[in-house]
């Protein structure tokens, strides 16, 4: 290192840091110095990303932070909800569900507006919570008091906030209802169906109730209790084919979908 530079480093940093800086090998090629943010593939720093690092969303090199980061995913994976809802939320937290905003950012030729309310900002948080049409799923619930304070936040921040504010059981209801809201939106977009907040709420909560009952039945079964109430998989006879499908039954409407 040039002597002048060495003097400046010594003025700024304490001795032990100066010694570490002095042993960094210098590049043999002439290049401008750059500031590079290690958590972005292009090296660009964004305040949003810095916040996520501080919360442990990215995997920084320090062991403790890495452990903290895994904790969020372990929490999501430990929820007692259907696996497809966990996977949906994994996609939500990576902000890769096909909202108009995400599709446009991947150069998919779409209108770029929300298919429900025609807003020009069809982000993930808009699609799940703040669209004027889907808001009817949330407005009369205990979740809305918290959600309405978080309009300006990113989806991951909302996830963390809800996780820290709600009980575990309430949080499971929240993630189920978010998923059902997205399913209802897909029906509107692809089947030209009207959006029904009431059906959405009933469906998500009865599905969660059924899932918890089935999970408990299987748990008792695995612990050696009576297995009659659990739907155990049985191999078909030889030369027969068994096809399992995902189905749902609405008792009130006498409606079965698969
Ligand atoms: Zn909308």
Compute, in degrees rounded to 10, the torsion defined by CA atoms 203, 173, 149, 185: -30
Q: Are residues 28 and 40 in the same domain?
A: no
Q: Give the distance (Å) from ligand 1 centre to CA of residue 38.
A: 35
Q: Give the distance (Å) from ligand 1 centre to CA of residue 182.
A: 12
User: What number of other Cβ atoms are within 10 A of residue 64's Cβ?
Assistant: 9
pLDDT, position 58: 57
Burial 76-112 (b: 16+ CB within 10 A, else e): beebebbeebbebbeebbebebbbbbbbeeeeeeeee
Q: Give the distance (Å) from ligand 1 centre to CA of residue 66.
A: 36
Q: Give the distance (Å) from ligand 1 centre to CA of residue 19.
A: 57
Q: Are residues 53 and 86 in the same domain?
A: no
C-alpha to C-alpha distances, 76 to 94, 113, 163, 200, nearest whole angstrom:
13, 30, 10, 22
Question: pLDDT below 70 — which residues of the chain?
Answer: 1-3, 27-31, 41, 54-70, 197-200, 219-233, 258
Q: Are residues 107 and 222 in the same domain?
A: yes
Q: Are residues 223 and 170 in the same domain?
A: yes
**pLDDT tens per residue across span 42-51:** 777 777 777 7
Q: Give the distance (Å) from ligand 1 centre to CA of residue 78.
A: 31
User: What number of other Cβ atoms are within 10 A of residue 215's Cβ?
Assistant: 14
Query: 245 lies in a domain?
Result: no
Q: Are residues 6 and 61 in the same domain?
A: no
Q: Are residues 147 and 62 in the same domain?
A: no
pLDDT, position 130: 93
Q: Are residues 132 and 68 in the same domain?
A: no
Q: Give the distance (Å) from ligand 1 centre to CA of residue 132.
A: 6
Query: 52 lies in a domain?
Result: yes
Q: Give the distance (Å) from ligand 1 centre to CA of residue 187.
A: 14
Query: 244 lies in a domain?
Result: no
Q: Give the distance (Å) from ligand 1 centre to CA of residue 169.
A: 28
Q: Give the distance (Å) from ligand 1 centre to CA of residue 216.
A: 38
pLDDT, position 63: 39
pLDDT, position 8: 82
Q: Give the distance (Å) from ligand 1 centre to CA of residue 36.
A: 37
Q: Are residues 185 and 112 in the same domain?
A: yes
pTM: 0.59
Counting the structural domains of the chain, the total is 3
Q: Are residues 50 and 129 in the same domain?
A: no
pLDDT, position 174: 93
Q: Are residues 205 and 105 in the same domain?
A: yes
Query: 71 lies in a domain?
Result: yes
Query: 9 lies in a domain?
Result: yes
Q: Are residues 64 and 28 in the same domain?
A: no
**pLDDT tens per residue across span 133-181:** 888 888 888 899 989 888 888 888 889 889 888 999 999 999 999 998 9
Q: Give the distance (Å) from ligand 1 centre to CA of residue 7.
A: 59
Q: Give the distance (Å) from ligand 1 centre to CA of residue 123.
A: 9
pLDDT, position 55: 64
Q: Give the distance (Å) from ligand 1 centre to CA of residue 127.
A: 6
- Name the phi and psi angles at 27, rounded to 5: -70, 145
pLDDT, position 209: 81
pLDDT, position 62: 41
Ligand 1 (ion): residues with CB under 5 Å are 114, 116-117, 119, 131
Query: 168 lies in a domain?
Result: yes
Domain with 161, as residue range(s), is 79-228
Q: Give the distance (Å) from ligand 1 centre to CA of residue 102.
A: 14
Q: Give the distance (Å) from ligand 1 centre to CA of residue 114.
A: 5
Q: Give the distance (Å) from ligand 1 centre to CA of residue 129.
A: 9
């Amino acid at each position: 290192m040039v002597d002048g530079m060495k003097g400046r480093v010594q003025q700024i940093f304490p001795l032990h840091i100066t010694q570490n800086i002095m042993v960094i090998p210098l590049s043999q090629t002439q290049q401008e110095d750059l500031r590079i943010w290690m958590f972005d593939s292009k090296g660009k720093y964004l305040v949003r990303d810095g916040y996520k690092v501080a919360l442990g969303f990215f995997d920084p090199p320090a062991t403790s932070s890495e452990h903290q980061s895994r904790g969020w995913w372990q929490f999501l994976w430990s929820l007692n909800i259907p696996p497809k809802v966990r996977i949906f939320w994994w996609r939500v937290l990576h902000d890769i569900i096909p909202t108009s905003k995400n599709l446009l950012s991947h150069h998919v030729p779409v209108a770029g507006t929300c298919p429900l309310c025609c807003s020009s900002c069809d982000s993930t948080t808009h699609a799940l919570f703040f669209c004027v049409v889907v808001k009817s799923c949330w407005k009369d619930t205990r979740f809305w008091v918290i959600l309405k304070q978080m309009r300006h936040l990113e989806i991951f921040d909302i996830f963390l906030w809800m996780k820290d504010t709600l009980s575990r059981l309430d949080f499971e209801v929240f993630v189920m209802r978010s998923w059902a809201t997205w399913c209802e939106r897909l029906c509107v977009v692809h089947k030209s169906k009207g959006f029904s907040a009431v059906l959405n709420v009933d469906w998500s909560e009865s599905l969660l109730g059924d899932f918890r009952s089935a999970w408990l039945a299987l748990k008792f079964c695995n612990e050696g209790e009576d297995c009659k109430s659990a739907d155990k998989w049985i191999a078909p006879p030889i030369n027969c084919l068994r096809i399992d499908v995902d189905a749902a039954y609405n008792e009130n409407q006498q409606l079965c979908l698969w």
